[in-house]
C-alpha cells in the first residue's frame, strides 16, 4: 500500500489511526458505517473478523490507488447519521472507505478505493480508453464533499442545443 | 435573450440563446446593465485555449439588477443593484474561508479539467470555456449567478454603474496585486501594464502608502491615465531602458514590489523562442512572460513580484536564478473578489477609488464584436469596452 493522502507524510494505516468501513455487498454497509460514525465502535468494525479491510488490502497484490478528498467539516457531517451519503452509497460493495481527521483543523480526510485491486489500465491508457475507476471515484468523492460543504451539487448552465466543441 | 457568442477564432456575434434559469437553490438571475471586456477574454477569443465551444458566451465583469432569486438566497431581493465577483466560489470550503475564493473547491463543475491542467481543481468563472466550468458569460441580457449570497454585493447608492462594474474584477485584481504583494508605506512599487488592472494596482499601492508608484507600458494614452488617475510616474518601455530607470528611481535598490499586470496577451518585444515554439507544439498554450522576466530582474533583493496577468499554460526563459539568488517572493492568483469587493465599494462610495474613466467605450451588445476589436488592438485609446445589453 504505497499510497498516502497528501500532507500526512505517512501511508494510510486504518487499523492504527483511522475509521475504516468496508461495505458488504448486501447489508453490511449501513451497519458498519453506523459503527464507524460512533468512534470507538468504528474501531471494532475494523477488526470484526471477516469484515475484511485489512485482509482485503493485504491479500491484493495490486491494490488500487486511494482517492482522497479533504472535507472542511467534521466526520459526523461528512457521513451524516453514520450513513454513506449519495452518491457514495451507490458504490456499496464496490469500494472501501476510510476517513480520519485532517491535520491542522482542516476537517476530515475521506478516502476510498475500489475493492478487488487494479482492474483497469492505469494513467494515460485509462484516459484514452475512458475507463479510469480512479477518476470516477474521485468525482464521487468530490460530490460527497460538495454536498457536505455547501448542501447541494453545483450544476452547470444548460448548453445551447447547437453547442459544438471545436479545437482551440 | 440576446447574447454575445464566440463563434470561432476571432469571431463573435450576437445570437438568440435560451434564457438562463435557476439551477441551484443558491442561484439568482441578474439583468445585466454593464458588462466589461477583459484581457483574460483575449486568449479565449483568439482560440488559444482548448475546449471553447461555438455558442459560448464571453464576459465575467458585470453589474446589474436582481431579476429572480432561488429559494436559499437570503441577502438579495428582486430589484437590488448588485455587482458580482468574476470568481464563482461557494464561500464554505477551506479556501473560501481563508479568502482564497478563486481557489474554491466547489466553484466549478468540471474540476477534473483544471486538475489535469494545473494539478488541483480551481474555482469557477463566468464566460470561461464550457469544459472548464459551464457558466455562461455576462455579455448577455441576463446571467445566472451561482452562490449568489457569496458572490454578489449590493452597490451603494452614490456609486455609478460605470464605476461599480469594475469592482467585479479589475479593482479586486488591482488591490490583490498591491495587498498580496505586501506594499508597505514608503515602498517603491513598479507596475507593468497600464490597462485597467495595472492602473488600479497603482491606485491601490498609493492607498496602501507607497512612496513612489511607477507604471510601465507603451501606450501613451494609458500612461497619461495612470499619471492622472493614479498619481503614478510612468515609463514607456519603447522609449527607455526600464531596468535602468527603475534602478535610478529607487536609489539603486530596485522597486520593493513589482506587479505584472500584462498577462499572456501582452505583446512581446521579442519573437517566440525556439523553446516556446517547440513547447507550443508539444504541451499546449505557451505564454511569453516578458514583463514577468523584467519584473524579476528589476525587483530589489528580498522584494516581492506579484503576477496579476492571466497565464494559462507554460512559459520558458523564466529567470528562476534571479528569484533564488535575490531571495524574491513570487506570488500570483486569480483575483479573490469576494474578499475585497465590500471594501472596494466603500472606497468607491467615498470617492477614494475612481474607475469610470477606464470605460473608454460604452457600446450596445450588438457592437460587441467591434468593441472587442477596439479592445484587443488598443485602438482609439480603448482601455475597456463596456457593453450595455439593455441600452
- Could you say which residues from 104 to 163 on chain A have a Cβ atom under 8 Å away from some Cβ of chain B? 106-107, 135, 138-139, 142, 145-146, 149-160, 162-163
Query: Is the per-residue pLDDT at B347 higher than 80?
Result: yes
Of B24, B49, B55, the CB nearest to A155: B24
Model confidence band, residue B286 (pLDDT cutoffs 50, 70, 90): low
3-class SS of residue A70: strand
Say what the ipTM of the complex is. 0.89
Q: Kindly report the three-state secondary structure assignment for every residue of chain B.
A: CEEEEEEECCEEEEEECCCCCCCCCCCEEEEEEEEECCCCHHHHHCCCCCCCEECCECCCEEEEEEEEECCCCCCCCCCCEEEECCEECCCCCHHHHCCCHHHCCCCCCCHHHHHHHHCCCCCEECCCCHHHCCCCCCCECEEEECCHHHHEEECCCCCCHHHHHHHHCHHHHHHHHHHHCCCCCCCEEEEECCCHHHHHHHHHHHHCCCCEEEEEECCHHHHHHHHHHHCCEEEECCCCCHHHHHHHHCCCCCCCEEEECCCCCCCCCCCCCHHHHHHHHHHCCEECCHHHHHHHHHCCCCCEEEECCCCCCEECCCCHHHHHHCCCEEEECCCCHHHHHHHHHHHHHCCCCCCHHHEEEEEEHHHHHHHHHHHHHCHHHCCEEEEECCC
On chain A, the residues whose CB falls within 8 A of the CB of B147 are 150, 154
Closest CA to B137 of B39, B58, B82: B58
Q: How many residues are there in chain B?
A: 391
On chain B, the residues whose CB falls within 8 A of the CB of A67 are none
Q: Residue A123's closest chain B neighbor by CA? A: B116
Map out the domains of chain B with their CATH numbers: 2-168+336-388 (3.90.180.10), 171-332 (3.40.50.720)
Interface residues on B facing A, Cβ-Cβ cutoff 8 A: 8, 17-18, 20-21, 23-26, 47-56, 72, 90, 92-94, 97, 105-112, 121, 124, 130-131, 133-136, 144, 146-147
Give the model's pLDDT for residue B189.
Answer: 98
pTM of this structure: 0.85
Query: Is the per-residue pLDDT at A164 higher than 60?
Result: no
Of B106, B109, B135, the CB nearest to A150: B106
Q: Is there a contact between A164 and B49 if contact means CB atoms under 8 Å apart?
A: no
> Once rounded to an integer, what is the mean pLDDT over residues A56-84?
80
Q: What is the pLDDT of residues B7-46, one digit of tens each?
A: 999 999 999 999 999 999 999 999 999 999 999 999 889 8
Write down the residue that cell numbers 479568502 correspond to: B99
Give the model's pLDDT for residue B272.
Answer: 55
Q: Is there a contact between B24 and A139 if contact means CB atoms under 8 Å apart?
A: no
Query: Is the per-residue pLDDT at A121 higher than 90?
Result: no
Q: What is the pLDDT of residues B61-100, one digit of tens each?
A: 999 999 999 999 999 999 999 999 999 999 999 999 999 9
The size of the A-B interface in CB pairs under 8 A is 97
Amino acid at each position: 500500500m504505497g499510497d498516502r493522502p497528501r500532507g500526512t507524510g505517512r501511508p494510510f494505516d486504518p487499523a492504527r489511526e483511522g475509521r475504516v468501513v468496508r461495505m458488504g455487498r448486501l447489508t453490511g454497509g449501513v451497519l458498519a458505517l453506523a459503527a464507524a460514525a460512533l468512534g470507538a465502535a468504528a474501531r471494532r468494525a475494523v477488526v470484526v473478523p471477516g469484515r475484511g479491510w485489512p485482509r482485503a488490502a493485504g491479500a491484493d497484490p495490486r491494490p488500487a490507488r486511494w482517492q482522497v478528498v479533504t472535507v472542511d467539516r467534521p466526520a459526523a457531517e461528512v457521513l451524516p447519521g453514520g450513513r454513506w451519503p449519495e452518491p457514495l452509497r451507490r458504490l456499496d460493495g464496490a469500494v472501501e472507505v476510510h476517513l480520519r481527521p485532517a491535520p491542522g483543523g482542516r476537517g476530515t480526510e475521506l478516502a476510498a478505493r475500489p475493492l478487488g485491486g487494479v482492474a483497469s489500465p492505469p494513467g494515460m491508457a485509462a484516459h484514452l480508453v475512458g475507463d479510469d475507476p480512479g477518476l470516477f471515484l474521485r468525482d464521487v468523492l468530490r460530490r460527497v464533499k460538495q454536498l457536505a460543504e455547501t448542501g447541494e451539487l453545483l450544476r452547470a448552465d444548460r448548453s445551447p442545443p447547437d453547442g459544438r466543441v471545436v479545437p482551440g | 435573450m440576446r447574447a454575445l457568442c464566440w463563434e470561432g477564432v476571432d469571431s463573435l456575434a450576437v445570437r438568440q440563446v435560451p434564457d438562463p434559469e435557476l439551477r441551484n437553490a443558491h442561484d439568482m438571475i441578474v439583468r445585466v446593465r454593464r458588462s466589461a471586456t477583459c484581457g483574460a477574454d483575449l486568449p479565449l477569443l483568439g482560440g488559444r485555449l482548448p475546449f471553447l465551444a461555438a455558442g459560448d458566451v464571453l464576459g465575467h465583469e458585470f453589474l446589474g439588477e436582481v431579476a429572480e432569486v432561488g429559494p436559499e438566497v437570503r441577502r438579495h431581493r428582486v430589484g437590488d443593484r448588485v455587482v458580482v465577483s468574476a470568481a464563482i466560489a461557494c464561500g464554505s470550503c477551506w479556501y473560501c474561508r481563508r479568502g482564497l475564493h478563486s481557489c474554491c473547491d466547489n466553484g466549478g463543475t468540471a474540476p477534473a479539467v483544471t486538475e489535469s491542467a494545473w494539478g488541483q481543481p480551481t474555482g469557477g468563472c463566468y464566460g470561461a470555456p464550457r469544459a472548464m466550468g459551464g457558466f455562461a458569460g455576462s455579455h448577455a441580457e441576463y446571467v445566472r449567478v451561482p452562490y449568489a449570497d457569496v458572490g454578489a454585493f449590493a452597490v451603494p447608492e452614490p456609486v455609478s454603474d460605470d464605476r461599480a462594474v469594475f469592482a467585479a474584477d479589475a479593482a479586486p485584481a488591482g488591490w490583490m496585486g498591491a495587498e498580496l504583494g505586501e506594499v508597505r508605506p514608503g515602498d517603491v512599487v513598479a507596475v507593468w501594464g497600464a490597462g485597467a488592472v495595472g492602473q488600479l494596482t497603482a491606485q491601490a499601492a498609493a492607498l496602501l502608502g507607497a512612496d513612489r508608484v511607477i507604471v510601465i507600458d507603451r501606450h501613451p494614452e494609458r500612461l497619461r491615465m495612470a499619471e492622472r488617475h493614479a498619481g503614478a510616474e510612468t515609463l514607456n518601455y519603447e522609449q527607455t531602458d526600464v531596468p535602468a530607470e527603475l534602478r535610478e528611481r529607487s536609489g539603486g535598490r530596485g522597486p520593493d514590489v513589482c506587479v505584472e499586470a500584462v498577462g499572456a496577451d501582452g505583446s512581446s518585444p521579442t519573437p517566440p523562442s525556439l523553446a516556446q515554439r517547440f513547447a507550443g507544439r508539444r504541451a499546449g498554450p505557451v505564454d511569453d512572460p516578458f514583463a514577468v522576466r523584467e519584473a524579476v530582474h528589476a525587483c530589489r533583493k528580498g522584494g516581492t513580484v506579484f503576477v496579476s496577468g492571466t497565464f494559462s499554460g507554460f512559459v520558458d526563459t523564466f529567470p528562476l536564478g534571479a528569484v533564488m539568488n535575490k531571495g524574491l517572493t513570487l506570488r500570483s492568483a486569480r483575483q479573490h473578489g469576494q474578499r475585497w469587493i465590500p471594501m472596494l465599494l466603500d472606497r468607491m462610495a467615498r470617492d477614494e477609488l475612481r474607475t469610470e474613466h477606464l470605460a473608454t467605450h460604452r457600446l450596445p451588445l450588438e457592437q460587441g464584436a467591434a468593441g472587442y476589436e477596439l479592445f484587443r488592438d488598443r485602438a482609439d485609446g480603448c482601455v475597456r469596452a463596456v457593453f450595455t445589453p439593455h441600452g
